[in-house]
């Protein structure tokens, strides 16, 4: 569906629930991906990303439609996932890698190794790598989202990448 | 500056996130530090691998999945609105009933005093409990660090 986020957001604010659909369809895959990186469970990632969309919709009246939607939404999604992890308090082991059949055409070797290496990292490392490498956020956006200085973003990324490389070898 | 202190800047360099000044300083360091050059190359390799994976969505493909996904979000929003309306309506009706009960029964001189006093105490106790729970909920909500961040 065409149209800018701002247009849909304003329509949502005026009570048109259907206007939320383009936003969910546009950002759903990225949201699901981010949740999956944090909770490492396909079904939970789906539920939590949906929950974040619902909370975003309910809080929409507080959102300034001049601002980009996704970073704001990502803040909500991250909090939903962290709350869930805090409640779950389960140490996820490496066997809990999400089902591969849910994925789109993963070639056998390198991609599976990359995925397994990512999943073997701590949530802390996986989160920063996910935000930069897959969510395509700038350092400024990551810094705002995680509420850490830009230098810490760089440092966390550096160490996460080193550990990712170690996990790949 | 020690080699270890340059390392984070290598990530910034790979991501093209350094300022011109930071980049100049780092290049100057790289020109005479083979260890950091090797590190930089490895970071570039890692970035190359993750970039190649970027388009490989981990999210389930297919319109059916996303149709159901959206429908579920829509239905949950709709049910939330339904529950809110139901709760408000029920609260209004309960309030109305309680008011009529209180004014009609408690002040009815024909009803036995012990029953009226007992009923009044039950209502007062219930009210105290409700206020206490609501106050606790509000306090918990205000201090919950994980609630949505307002921007």
* Reported ipTM: 0.70
The residues spanned by each domain of chain A are 1-95, 104-169
Query: What are the pLDDT tens digits along chain B (151 aa)?
Result: 788 889 999 999 999 999 999 999 999 999 989 999 999 999 998 888 887 777 665 666 677 888 999 999 999 998 988 898 999 999 999 888 888 887 787 777 788 888 888 888 888 898 899 999 999 888 877 766 555 444 4
Inter-chain CB pairs, A–B, below 8 Å: 130
Q: Would B110 be classed as within a structural domain?
A: yes
Q: Is the dihedral of CA B22, A123, A100, A163 positive or negative?
A: positive
Cβ-Cβ contacts under 8 Å, B12 against chain A = 139, 154
Chain B interface, Cβ < 8 Å to A:
7-12, 15, 17, 42-43, 45-47, 49-51, 53-54, 56-61, 66, 69-70, 72-74, 76-78, 80, 146-151
CATH number for the A1-95 domain, one of 1.10.1740.10, 1.10.3720.10, 3.30.200.20, 3.30.479.30?
1.10.1740.10
Q: Give one DSSP letter per residue of A23-55, joined into a string.
A: HHHHHHHHHHHHHHHHH--HHHHHHHHHHHHHH
Q: Would B59 be classed as within a structural domain?
A: no
* Tally of domains in chain B: 2
Q: Would B82 be classed as within a structural domain?
A: no
Q: Would B85 be classed as within a structural domain?
A: no
Spell out the CATH class of A104-169.
mainly alpha
Range of the domain at B124: 93-144
- Give the angle B37-B39-B45 at the CA atoms, nearest 5°: 105
Q: Would B20 be classed as within a structural domain?
A: yes
Q: Would B150 be classed as within a structural domain?
A: no
Last residue of a domain, one of B54, B70, B85: B54
Backbone angles phi, psi at A66, to 5 degrees: -75, -20
Q: State pLDDT tens for residues A64-98.
A: 888 889 999 999 999 999 889 887 765 444 334 34
């Amino acid at each position: 569906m065409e149209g800018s986020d701002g247009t849909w957001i304003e329509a949502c604010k005026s009570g048109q629930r259907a206007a939320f659909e383009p936003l969910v369809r546009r950002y759903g895959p990225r949201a699901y991906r981010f949740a999956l990186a944090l909770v490492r469970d396909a079904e939970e990632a789906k539920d939590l990303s949906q929950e974040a969309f619902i909370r975003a919709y309910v809080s929409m009246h507080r959102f300034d439609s001049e601002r980009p939607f996704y970073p704001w939404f990502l803040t909500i999604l991250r909090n939903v996932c962290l709350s869930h992890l805090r409640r779950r308090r389960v140490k996820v082991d490496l066997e809990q890698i999400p089902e591969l059949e849910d994925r789109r055409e993963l070639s056998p070797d390198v991609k599976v190794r990359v995925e397994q290496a990512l999943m073997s990292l701590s949530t802390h490392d996986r989160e920063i790598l996910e935000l930069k490498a897959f969510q395509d956020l700038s350092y400024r956006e990551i810094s705002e989202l995680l509420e850490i200085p830009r230098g810490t973003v760089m440092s966390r990324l550096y160490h996460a990448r080193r550990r990712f490389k170690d996990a790949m070898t | 500056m020690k080699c270890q202190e340059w390392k984070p800047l290598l990530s910034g360099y790979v991501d093209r996130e350094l300022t011109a000044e930071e980049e100049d300083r780092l290049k100057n360091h790289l020109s005479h530090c083979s260890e950091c050059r090797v590190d930089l190359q490895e970071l570039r390799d890692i970035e190359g691998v993750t970039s190649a994976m970027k388009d490989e969505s981990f999210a389930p493909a297919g319109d059916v999945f996303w149709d159901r996904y959206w429908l579920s979000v829509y239905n949950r929003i709709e049910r939330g609105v339904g529950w809110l309306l139901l709760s408000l309506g029920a609260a209004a009706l309960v309030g109305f009933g309680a008011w009529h009960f209180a004014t009609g029964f408690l002040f009815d001189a024909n009803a036995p005093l012990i029953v009226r006093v007992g009923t009044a105490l039950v209502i007062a106790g219930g009210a105290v409990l409700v206020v206490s729970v609501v106050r606790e909920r509000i306090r918990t909500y205000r201090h919950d660090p994980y609630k949505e961040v307002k921007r």
